[in-house]
């Protein structure tokens, strides 16, 4: 009988799918509830989550009739009006006076007076709160004891000009509903200022503060501007793998990915249970990938494979580095985009695309100026906040990046400049040593008065194996872009496209060529000159916001000794 019932269902299934076309691609399945049950079960959802304006137009009669007849229609998705939509216009919301509005957000403060109560509500769309004015006649006023800091609420009313001096608009509330209560005795974020060290211990709640809400919005704007810049310039986004068997930087600062350490026992496997070879080494042949595997430190090598096929590509995703650097400039997990730039060179070979170090520097400069300008133009309220409370003068500093020409300087000239400065640095200055943050900041902040500086042609001993060797045999075609306050923001190079040079460099550094067989193949089959750079995204956010510690630029920082949240 079960088989017969199944046969009947299969026979009826096509008929259930017949009927008038559905406007929404996410139309409900055949077992959707009846219209009456649908209205009853979704009324509360619509109350809290539907479009915000109370005067939303009803659907056309024909569409409503068709939906009622089928019983399977899904409501149209509508963009919700948020506080930023009201306050963010050129008139600062003057056109909204007299209009109805519903605000959904979280209570920042609640001030009760004899005849009126002021509730500040923030929905995360902007720095500004919506001041909501309640009276004892307001529907839901009996819930006033539950309207505490941190509680989520739905507030409905009419926009009016504010009588106070701190805001131009306020919401005269006709109805308020508490969606989620917040215990005022235990909620860790109160009106008083909290240290950023403390807020890292409650990273799940710190986005509700002015500072971290602003950081999140600027970070979002920088990410959007990053994609827009490269998409508008013809680049193709490529997703690079998170798990890799290659060490891009050759520094060995990688996290292992393994299934040899079982989670079946508390604390993982005993050392004696990890399979090993006769000489006592880990037997990687029994691991998931049958060889050592790591979390990637860079998407560059994989990006190069697509650059040699699609010309201009970029990656934007998480990378990981097991570097025990517990400083304000380092994270164990960070988001990086790497650009493999292949633009037409000044050679008559139209089937190939070329990019040298000069192309690389030009792209890096244009990119940085673009994203900084985008943030200044689209995050004005948040940037004013950073300029007032985080770093005074940050807007002027960022405007300098947009408006001033970048300085180009060779590594040798930079060393000569630092030695000639007679300044006592903590780290020594000598040709052949890498520049430290204090050196980089001196160059851009003091020597060149706040202008961004690009330093090129570094000693090959301090740079990665894949960088193209210059004709002098001592330096490579590498560049670092330095900015005030941060130091190095972008690092890039022209990649070594010559097979014999690349193989010799791998041998020189005792790197296993078998691990890079596919990377070497790119030099065997249609090799082209190409270049690229890498930018730590969190460091860019730090530069744009003025935040002192890079741990405050990422939602959930990963640093030595901490993997909370």
CATH code of the domain covering residue 132: 2.40.50.140
Q: Tell whether 427 and 502 lie within a shared domain.
A: yes
Task: Report the C-alpha gap between 324 and 559 in whole angstroms.
Answer: 8
State what percent of residues in the chain have pLDDT above 90.
Answer: 58
Q: Which of 180, 209, 235 is the last residue of a domain?
A: 180
CB atoms within 10 A of CB 216: 18
> 552 lies in which domain range?
197-254+297-564
CB atoms within 10 A of CB 507: 11
> Does the pLDDT value for residue 262 go beyond 90?
no
Q: Which of 154, 180, 206 is the last residue of a domain?
A: 180
Task: Report the C-alpha gap between 63 and 110 in whole angstroms.
Answer: 43
Instruction: Tell me which H or E stretch contains 490.
Output: strand 487-494
Average pLDDT score over residue span 518-526? 95
Q: Tell whether 206 and 175 lie within a shared domain.
A: no
Task: Report the C-alpha gap between 315 and 334 in whole angstroms.
Answer: 13
Q: With cut-offs at 50, 70 and 90, classify the pLDDT of residue 321.
A: low
Residue with tokens 């920088």: 222
Q: Where are the alpha helices (DSSP H) in 405-477?
A: 411-420, 437-441
Give the per-residue pLDDT at 278: 72
Average pLDDT score over residue span 35-49? 40
459 to 87, 140, 205, 513: CA distances (angstroms):
53, 71, 46, 23
> Does the pLDDT value for residue 27 go beyond 50?
no
Mean residue pLDDT of the chain comes to: 82
In 3D space, the residue among 228, 224, 222, 190 whose CA is nearest the CA of residue 209 turns out to be 190
Higher pLDDT, 60 or 162: 162
Residue 458 within a domain: yes
Q: How many domains does the chain have?
A: 2
Q: With cut-offs at 50, 70 and 90, classify the pLDDT of residue 521.
A: very high
Q: Tell whether 170 and 315 lie within a shared domain.
A: no
SS3 annotation, 55-109: CCCCCCHHHHHHHHHHCCCCCCCCCCCCHHHHHCCCCCCHHHCCCEEEEEEEEEE
> Does the pLDDT value for residue 182 go beyond 80?
yes
Give the per-residue pLDDT at 96: 96
Q: Which of 180, 207, 234 is the last residue of a domain?
A: 180
Q: Tell whether 328 and 429 lie within a shared domain.
A: yes
State what percent of residues in the chain have pLDDT above 70.
Answer: 77
Give the per-residue pLDDT at 111: 94
Q: Tell whether 166 and 201 lie within a shared domain.
A: no
> Does the pLDDT value for residue 454 go beyond 80?
yes
Q: Tell whether 162 and 246 lie within a shared domain.
A: no
In 3D space, the residue among 140, 132, 138, 78 whose CA is nearest the CA of residue 103 turns out to be 132
Average pLDDT score over residue span 528-554? 92
> Does the pLDDT value for residue 8 go beyond 70?
no
By DSSP bridging, strand 294-295 and strand 169-180 are: unpaired
Q: Tell whether 313 and 367 lie within a shared domain.
A: yes
- What CATH number should be reported for the domain holding residue 328? 3.30.930.10
Q: With cut-offs at 50, 70 and 90, classify the pLDDT of residue 247.
A: low
């Amino acid at each position: 009988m079960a088989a017969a019932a199944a046969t009947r269902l299969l026979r009826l299934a096509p008929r259930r799918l017949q009927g008038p076309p559905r406007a929404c691609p996410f139309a409900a399945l055949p077992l959707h509830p009846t219209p009456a049950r649908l209205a009853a079960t979704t009324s509360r959802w619509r109350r809290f989550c539907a479009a915000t304006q109370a005067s939303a137009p009803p659907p056309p009669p024909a569409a409503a009739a068709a939906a009622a007849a089928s019983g399977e229609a899904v409501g149209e998705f509508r963009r919700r009006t948020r506080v930023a939509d009201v306050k963010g216009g050129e008139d600062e919301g003057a056109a909204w006076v007299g209009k109805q509005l519903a605000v959904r957000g979280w209570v920042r403060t609640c001030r009760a007076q004899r005849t009126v109560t002021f509730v500040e509500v923030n929905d995360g769309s902007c720095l500004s709160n919506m001041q909501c004015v309640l009276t004892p006649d307001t529907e839901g006023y009996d819930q006033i004891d539950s309207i505490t800091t941190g509680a989520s609420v739905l507030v409905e009313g009419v926009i009016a000009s504010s009588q106070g001096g701190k805001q131009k608009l306020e919401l005269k509330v006709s109805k308020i509903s508490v969606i989620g209560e917040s215990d005022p005795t235990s909620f860790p974020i109160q009106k008083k200022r909290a240290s950023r060290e403390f807020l890292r211990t409650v990273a799940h709640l710190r986005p509700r503060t002015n500072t971290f809400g602003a950081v999140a919005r600027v970070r979002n704007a920088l990410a959007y501007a990053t994609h827009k810049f490269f998409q508008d310039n013809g680049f193709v986004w490529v997703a690079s793998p998170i798990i890799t068997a290659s060490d891009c930087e050759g520094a060995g600062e990688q996290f292992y990915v393994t299934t040899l350490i079982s989670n079946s026992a508390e604390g993982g496997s005993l050392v004696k249970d990890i399979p090993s070879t006769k000489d006592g080494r880990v037997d990687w042949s029994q691991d998931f990938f049958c060889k050592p595997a790591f979390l990637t430190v860079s998407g560059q090598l994989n990006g190069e494979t697509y650059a040699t096929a699609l010309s201009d590509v970029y990656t934007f995703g998480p990378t990981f580095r097991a570097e025990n650097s517990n400083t304000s400039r380092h994270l164990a997990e960070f988001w990086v985009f790497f650009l493999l730039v292949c633009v037409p060179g000044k050679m008559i070979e139209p089937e190939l695309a070329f990019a040298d170090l000069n192309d690389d520097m030009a792209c890096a400069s244009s990119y940085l100026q673009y994203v900084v300008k985008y943030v200044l133009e689209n995050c004005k309220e948040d940037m004013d906040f950073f300029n007032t409370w985080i770093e005074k003068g940050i807007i002027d500093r960022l405007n300098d990046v947009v408006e001033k020409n970048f300085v180009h300087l060779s590594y040798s000239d930079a060393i000569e400049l630092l030695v000639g400065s007679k300044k006592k640095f903590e780290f020594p200055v000598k040709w052949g040593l890498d520049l430290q943050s204090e050196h980089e900041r001196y160059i851009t902040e003091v020597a060149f008065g706040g202008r961004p500086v690009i330093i090129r042609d570094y000693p090959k001993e301090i740079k990665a194996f894949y960088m193209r060797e210059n004709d002098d045999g001592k330096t490579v075609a590498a560049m670092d872009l330095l900015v005030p306050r941060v130091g190095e923001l972008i690092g890039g190079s022209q990649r070594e496209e010559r097979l014999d040079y690349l193989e010799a460099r791998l041998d020189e550094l005792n790197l296993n060529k078998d691990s890079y067989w596919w990377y070497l193949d790119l030099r065997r089959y249609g090799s082209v000159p190409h270049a690229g750079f890498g930018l730590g995204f969190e460091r860019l956010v730090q530069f744009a916001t003025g935040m002192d510690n890079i741990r405050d630029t990422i939602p959930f920082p990963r640093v030595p000794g901490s993997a909370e949240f």
